[in-house]
Chain A
Amino acid sequence: MSLKLGYWDLRAMGEVSRYLLRYSGVDWVDRRIPLSKEGYTQWFGEKYSIGLDLPNLPYLEDGEVRITQSIAINRYLARKFGLYPSAQESLVKCDMIEQEAQDFRVLFQNLIVKKQDEFEQGKPEFLEKMKKRLEMLDGYVGSGPFVLGDNLSYVDFMVFEYVSQIKKMDPGFVDGASNIARLLETIHSLPQLQPYFTSEEFKKGTPINPAFTSFSG
């Protein structure tokens, strides 16, 4: 089996790639590095010797291909699995939504790495700011059904995962964004994802963020 994704045992920035792999139906190895002393020793011991140009987590192995950087991995898997737009006009929209979705994750990450009191202080402002951005995304998606219109693409999975992460912290997060709420349902209902959503692994759950953060989810 030559297709492997390596990442911490978290959702964080690896879960989108996992969804793309689950969606594809191909065989793949979901390598999870535990966030423990053993895990750190293991990863930092091998980080510079597994053929990665710019070593980091997540990493993807696909035969001879060895890449890092979650966005590069998501684009690679999207091209491989037919989830990358081909029309010229869609390329720029795709890039823009990819970056908007990424901002949702990065800003969420910046919040949850704060110490508990700073986190509590920063949470209301964060949610207010993100709800405004969610409103814009909601208007953009419109009747969809997908972010880029008729065709499912990897950015749907990015919006799905990163909005869901914030929703875990704030259950009412998508209340004012009915198109996004619908999109989340649509992605969640994809037939290709049902094996995962009915699995023991899904029921067991994976934390979003490390335990040492102010919201691990």
Chain B
Amino acid sequence: AGLAQQAVVSTQSTGKKHSLGLDFPNLPYLIDGDVKISQSVAIMRYLGRKFGLVPSEADVARIEVFEQFLMDIRNSLSKVCYGDKEKFETAKADFIGKLAKQLEEVKGFIGDGPYAAGAKLTYVDFMALEFLSHCAAFSPESFENTAAADYLDRIKSLPALKNFYESENCTHNSYTINAPFSQWPGWPNKQ
């Protein structure tokens, strides 16, 4: 039997959310023809496969460990930034304390690189670029003179990305890192 027709039952009117044909309405979502997916990791892995940004078979397990390690860091940062106001300063200090060791681990993992899978650029390099850039905006001192910062610079200097950063409408000049209502939105061009 093929996959059963999904029946998304919504008991509340949530506007567009439940009318896009997503099995699990959420943000982010991706629509690519008939493919309709949510869950950021599923989207990243889909785009990775689509654009050839995948590791060789021998490297899959190692790269997936790095994928999840980066998700852990991002999720930890989210917990700090979306947590209670009273707990923010302590949570921030704890996070920064752990970050130093994690960046050492990134250095060990990447080695000479230039990318996570060595010579081959893969989707996890983009996860590292974005998630570690969030951490660098949150705690710039943690990244000073680190191999992790060099790794991020290498990815940022890819021609397509360079064009994006230099473009007039680069969203990084207007988007916050976290929601504006969070304890640390990460406004562009500000700490």
* Residues of A participating in the B interface, judged by any CB pair closer than 8 Å: 53-56, 65, 67-72, 75-76, 79, 88, 91-93, 95-96, 98-100, 106, 110, 132-133, 135-137, 139-144, 148-150
Q: Which parts of B4-21 form the interface with A (CB within 8 Å)? A: 4-9, 11
Question: Do A54 and B61 have beta carbons less than 8 Å apart?
Answer: no
Whether B130 sits at the interface, judged by CB under 8 Å, is no
Count chain B residues whose beta carbon lies closer than 8 angstroms to a beta carbon of A. Answer: 38
Q: Shortest distance in angstroms between B34's beta carbon and chain A's nearest beta carbon?
A: 9
Q: Shortest distance in angstroms between A47's beta carbon and chain B's nearest beta carbon?
A: 11
Chain B residues with Cβ under 8 A from A106's Cβ? 75
A95 is contacted by which of B7, B46, B68, B75 (Cβ under 8 Å)? B46
CA–CA, A95 and B37, complex, Å: 10
Question: Do B8 and A72 have beta carbons less than 8 Å apart?
Answer: no
Whether B35 sits at the interface, judged by CB under 8 Å, is yes
Chain A residues with Cβ under 8 A from B109's Cβ? 53-54
A140 is contacted by which of B24, B37, B41 (Cβ under 8 Å)? B24
Whether B112 sits at the interface, judged by CB under 8 Å, is no
Whether B160 sits at the interface, judged by CB under 8 Å, is no
CA–CA, A71 and B61, complex, Å: 10
Q: List 17 A-B contacts (CB under 8 A).
A: A54-B105, A55-B105, A56-B69, A68-B69, A69-B69, A72-B61, A79-B60, A95-B42, A98-B41, A100-B24, A135-B9, A136-B24, A137-B24, A140-B23, A140-B24, A142-B3, A142-B6
Question: Do A140 and B68 have beta carbons less than 8 Å apart?
Answer: no
CA–CA, A135 and B11, complex, Å: 11
CA–CA, A87 and B72, complex, Å: 28
A139 is contacted by which of B9, B42, B67, B108 (Cβ under 8 Å)? B9
Whether B39 sits at the interface, judged by CB under 8 Å, is yes
Q: Specify the chain A residue showing the minimal Cβ separation from B11.
A: A132
CA–CA, A128 and B81, complex, Å: 24
Chain B residues with Cβ under 8 A from A96's Cβ? 23-24, 37-39, 42
Question: Do A100 and B39 have beta carbons less than 8 Å apart?
Answer: yes
Question: Do B64 and A150 have beta carbons less than 8 Å apart?
Answer: no
CA–CA, A22 and B161, complex, Å: 46
User: Mask for B57-84, Cβ within 8 A of A = 1, else 0?
Assistant: 0001110111111001001000100000
Question: Do A99 and B41 have beta carbons less than 8 Å apart?
Answer: yes
B41 is contacted by which of A53, A54, A95, A150 (Cβ under 8 Å)? A95
Q: Shortest distance in angstroms between B24's beta carbon and chain A's nearest beta carbon?
A: 5
Question: Do A75 and B1 have beta carbons less than 8 Å apart?
Answer: no
Whether B49 sits at the interface, judged by CB under 8 Å, is yes
Nearest 10 CB-CB pairs, A to B? A142-B4, A69-B68, A95-B42, A99-B39, A72-B64, A96-B42, A139-B7, A72-B65, A54-B69, A140-B6
